Amino acid sequence: MFKLKPQSESCEIRINKNNNMQDIMKRANELIKITNTFKEDIDISIGSYTIDGKSIMGLFSLNLSNPMVITIHSDDKESIKLFLDNMEEFNNGLN
């Protein structure tokens, strides 16, 4: 018997709009706190690099000055909607 892969939903986010290291660290920690509130698997990708979206060490291994794609893997439509709402709010924090 095989198991179907869960659905996934992605969006583009940015950690920073400038290169202030203190702001980058604050926003990275904020992002990881958000992703860890979800039980679903979450990935963060920049180009060909993909890391566990709940890992602060993994996040700091990426070039955080580039936009990134964050993906939640879930069949639960409510979790996906909440995730996308959280990511929109996170992105709006740059304004």
Q: What percent of the chain has pLDDT over 70?
A: 88
For residues 15-43, one letter each, b for 16 or more C-beta atoms within 10 angstroms of the residue's C-beta and e for the rest, the string is: bbeeeeeeebeebbeebbebbeebebebb
Residue 50 region by backbone torsions, left for phi larger than 0, else alpha for psi between -120 and 50, else beta: beta
- Token pair, residue 88, equals 């929109």
pLDDT in tens, 65-76: 888 999 999 989
Q: What percent of the chain has pLDDT over 90?
A: 57
pLDDT for the residue 42: 96
Rounded Cα–Cα distance for residues 16 and 28 (Å): 9
Per DSSP, 38 falls in state -
pLDDT band per the 50, 70, 90 thresholds, residue 4: very low
Per DSSP, 7 falls in state P
pLDDT for the residue 23: 85
Output the pTM of the full model: 0.84
pLDDT in tens, 22-42: 888 888 999 999 999 999 999
